[in-house]
Amino acid sequence: MVSGISRDGRRTASSAGRNGRRVFSVCAALGAVVVVPAGLAPGAAADDVRSKQWYLAPMKASEMWKVSAGEGVKVAVIDSGVNPGTPSLKGQVLVDEVPKAVSYHVTQDYSGHGTSMAELIAGTGAGGGLKGLAPGARIVPYRIVTGDLKSEAERMKTSTSAMAIRAAADSDAKIINMSYGSPASDPDEEAAIKYAHSKGKLLIAGTGNNAEKFNLIGYPAAYPFVVGVAAADKTGKVGKFSEHGNYVDLAAPGLDLPVWCDKSFRSYCTGAGTSAATAITSASAALVWSAHPDWTANQVLGSLIDTAGRDWPKNKPSNYLGYGLIRPRKVLEDTGIDPGPAKTDPLSYENGAGVTGASPSATAPASSQPPKSTSGDRTSAAGSNTESSGGTPWGALAGVAAVLVIAGGAFAVIRSRRRA
């Protein structure tokens, strides 16, 4: 949910967007600066930033990149804008592919949030910047109105979320990353989501960061056809702030990660939130889609759900971690993987069940939300030693093509700590 960074460690929205809804950031906490200044030549400071990306090693990113780095896949980042001039994003941002209409073509980042998401997805790591999980992918930036955009003149030439989603749907971006949200639904935004789904896009959004106070339903994550992503820590446990309900579909790394401190792009800070988890999930999808360009969005998502790390039955997704911890390497290492039918929505049950497990918003009364049986007490995938979908047991993966081997559990390191 996109907005500014408050100094109490949370991102909040300070005002409503053009469509009257409050739009919030889904990057929650901000801590100490971890590198200054930006654009340093690789060295101690760069190593510090890279070390903050704790998930790259346990996810075996360098091994995955031998198979797929996301080449040929474009990711639409709908956010506060994207700065294409950071060292890590030079050559990675396709500003010229944004429609020339004034409401779309203004892409300058006014808070640093969107640029952080873009780097987490497709950053090259150059100049001491963030290394994206899919550095071969490309970013198409769409700027939307959030609470950080104070200038009325700038607001009037900046898109609403619905406008941006429709523009992205008409582009050749395969994935739409939405690291933002609101506790109120919007008919125009929902219609845009349906339109993008009809165009074959994979839509991914953060569930929100307000679980400790209200745990309100977060949109667009709660709309049908949107993959709702929760944030988990190094042990595979959901963040306390990460909003939950049966619209949580997957979980990804979202705590203690480096993000740009602000729009000055002079330093990174340690942050957390479902924003980052959303970006890492979009990058994971880009890796898979690049390796399997003939797959549909349904098949990409289905493969990520089937291979997610969990120690609960697949037919009883958790209200906190959904189908489990994202593991794209499990898709890439299985050359014979069955992605399922091209036209079958892997979230069809959730899409038809309504939202449960969260506090209803003003526009979605509880009476309109049919109940759903979920494993609502599942807050961690740590300690799992089982495979989803009957896969190969852990520790017996040597010799598999591409050698994408992790000893232990999903996102585990040698000490069997879960990272998600």
Would residue 334 show up in a list of annotated catalytic residues for this protein? Answer: no
Cross-strand pairs, 129:
none
What distance in Å separates the CA atoms of residue 214 and residue 218, rounded to the nearest whole number?
A: 11
Backbone φ, ψ for residue 348 (5° rounding): -60, -35
Active-site residue (options: 80, 88, 267, 275): 275
On whether the CB atoms of residues 146 and 111 are closer than 8 A, the answer is yes
**Catalytic (active site) residue 275:** yes
Q: Which residue has the tokens 């969260």?
A: 358
Active-site annotation holder among 3, 25, 79, 388:
79
Residue 109 is a catalytic residue:
no
Omega prior to 84 cis, within 30 of 0: no
Which amino acid, residue 230?
A: A
What CA–CA distances, in Å, run from 37 to 77, 117, 212?
Answer: 25, 19, 34
Contact 23, 160 (CB under 8 A): no
Catalytic residue selected from 25, 80, 113, 185:
113
Of 108, 303, 133, give the one whose Cα is nearest residue 202.
303
Contact 213, 234 (CB under 8 A): no
The alpha-helical segments, DSSP class H, found in 199-252 are none
**Which position has the token pair 């460690």?**
9
Which active-site residues does the annotation give? Answer: 79, 113, 275
